[in-house]
Structure 1
Amino acid sequence: MEDPMKWTTDEIVKQLCHFIILYTTAECPVPDQSTCLSLESVIRQQGTTGANLLEDANTEISQVMGRQSYVCIVRLLRSKSTSYQHKIAIKGVQSCQIEDTTAAGEGRKRRRVEPQSIQLSTAPSYARNEREQTWFHLMHWENGNTYSDPEESMDDDEEADEDQDEDDSEEEADEDDDDITEEDAVNPEIPRKGKLSSEEIIRIMNDCIDKYTEDWEPGKDQEEDYITDAAILLENAIRSGQQKLLVTKNQAKIDWLRSRLDATGDRIFAEAWSREEALRRQCRALEETVNQLQEAEWLLAIYQSGAVENRPTSSASVPDIIDLGSGSDSSDDREDIVSVHSPEPKSARPTIEEFVESDLQPTPTRPITVISDNPGQASIRSISEWDWESLIEKKDRKRIVMKVINEMSVEKREMIRTRINNVRKHDLVAEIPACINMFRQSGGTNMKMRGVLPRDLPKIMAFTRLFLCWWLAGNYFDTDAKEWRMEDLAEALDGGSQDRNIFYDWVRHVFNNTFSLESCSKPFAPSQAEIIVISDDED
């Protein structure tokens, strides 16, 4: 990450309005979409840069974000900015005052210098910044985590005085220990600032994960009607014809959860920790992922097993009842055959035999649908489980676009979101044919569009490639389409095809709902419609 002090307005908009990593790291609430749009408008209107954000008290941004979130984010960025810390550290250094100049007898000039006592501080002394004296006292943190409003704690301001006292900077030193730049986290040769070594951090994180794993059990944190009987789950899967589908879904879920666990662990490890208690408290963020991973592995083991024949089923229990009255001495392995296919007249036991015959008939397999009929009700979780081969075979354009958006990088997804929010529909759809012609003429090299700035070209290309996925019903976001298909597309667009408008409306709907900022912050939460479908499958 570039030094926050050097951020441009676009970078600030991207970090504060399109990404959630700063909010999660600072442990403050993630703003909703309307707040992000208002915040972006204020930042662009003021032309706020990284230096402005870190050095000046911006009341408008504070009002939009909320005072507590604003204070948290600014404090976090200051701790990660080496330029800001260096600037604050050298503010106390002043050049010596030269009073006058005299000439010695030999003509050599002598300067009389008055020594001055200058107090230096290795830790940033925020109190020296005059522009911040009116509001920086709001940045007091109790125990390094909890925000404390001085108006609510007027009777207890000893800790606030210690923050502003240059002679007692113990708390600020602790905060420096808990902060580490991204370069330090990436470069193993740079020693960590925290008191806990890398080995200790890894050991503590593994201890927490092991504890969460041992504490998990089937049905933990689930509803009361959650089925924990492995035999029933496997039988239901086989009878419904969805055993293979459930295996595939849980395999995909396990892969996603493992990558999520690794990413969260990497973020925790990248920080420097001085206290084991604080690290263990932060590791609680891993507990939910560990629980979901254990559940998915447990379900996968059940659905992959083929031992359902060794368990008593409802179909096998009925012939046992029939044999009680028949007095048959047949062996167990022929019990079902004798009882069901006995030549005994139907009139002898019409009701029982009719029930057995219908029960032994294979249950009609329900249509295997990955989600409900309305793709707009799908969640990010279910999208990750969609099968590319099936989507391409059915030419399901809507789901293909959603699948591509889900698999693209966060930077590209947020770039497209910003483009949709800031550029008019007419201009966006008009850029698509021009970009298609550029693809055809350039052959993948020397990409240029007339009247388009180089910085805007990647944004136009990303949106156009997403349209290619829609039009060609495949994953062409990172793959070039064949030349003849591009020619057909260009002719159709020149002929006035309305697909661009339909595509734009769908993408905008998807970004406002399925891939909203709130949904992206909780990518594994199912939608209400999917909760009903999943519950029906497992009953």
Structure 2
Amino acid sequence: MADASGPEAEPSDWSFLLKWNNYSGAEDNGDLASWEPEDELLQESGSSTADEDELTEAQTATTGSKIDDDEIVNIINASIAHYTSIWEPNSGVPKEDWIVYEPEKMWEDAESKGKRQQMISRYKAEVDWYTGGLDRLCEEIMEFPGSNSDAVRQQCKNLEMTVYNLELASWLLSIYSLSPESDSDGDIHDTERGGQSQLAPVDQSDQHAAAGIIDLGSPPASSIGDANEVSYVSPVAATAEEHTPTFLPLNLQDIHTANHGDEPEQASLATVRRWLWRDLIETQDRKRVVLKALHELHAADRENIRSRLKVVGKAKCRQEIKAYINMLSRDEPRIHGVLQRDFVKIQIIGRLFFSWWYCDDYSTKAPSRADLGELSDELSNSPLDLDVFYDFLCKIMDTTFSQEALQHPDRPSQAEIIEISDDED
């Protein structure tokens, strides 16, 4: 089968997916189980040729499925296209956790703090992460599709949150990827639209590629029935440079951005990812500041924290943070008597404590010497603050950042799952 990203791919093979170009913005999260794609391949038919019967029997014998690979591919494609077409920046997010995204302000804040390239790298990594996740989910559906088209559609519901997260990461990447020169061209300041200066999601005609649409090309006759030749386009092929941001009001200004619930230590990774630094700093939400800072660390650094907490315990950790503060206040390069490999771990935990104490992002900066002196005095008078920080850090390493949670970053935490009772039982 031809690769949809190659030169042999015909636009007509998947052009029907571009119908969302005229997406009205109305909320339509219809159930896929009752939603039928228009492609004639998806219509149940009572007639079949003898060759088709033989093919179905062969597939049923090997995979337990009575549905051929082409139909599975079309259902997966249609499902991805459906979720992509209805995506908005807060899709899949409980209404109380909706966020007002201000693209222009986000870009300017990152640029003024010298963090725009860091944000670009971060969201490129997220695009790659969710791309791989979507690929794996599609492969699992292809391998175990079920016995009929309804079973395939039911499995395709598992694609929803991954598609939403991929779309959000791609959109945020497109915002931070705008160059400073774009400002003078009107890409950020929209002078022709009555002062409207909100950037909008990426051009949605490119978002189908970003969501990983499976190849719709018809295979040659000799390859029919060969499941290994059913391929799909990796979303990595759709880079940020291909996205063209346009202007479109998000109409979310009535949403309270800092309402995050009462138990931050029970938040899922997907929830933490949506929090904005400016909200956390404005509300002086120290617990969520630590969660956000931990979320943005490299995986290796998080594991260094985990191992250090287990090895040293509370009393030793408290001493190490104080020693790190004293080292910085004396402008010394290292803590005397501490191995370099241990110092790296102490430094990471120390910076997390600064983020906690000052309710700000201290992952790449340190307090002034005057502030460090005041902090040292405060901790001498009130050592319990370090204990509270240590206990909270241990807690979230076992909840939000547990090994299981890190393996399933899109999964809501147990506390975020709303149980619905069955009145009929």
TM-score (norm 1): 0.37
Q: Which has the higher helix share?
A: 1
Q: Which has the higher contact order (CA 8 A, sep 6+)?
A: 2
TM-score (norm 2): 0.46
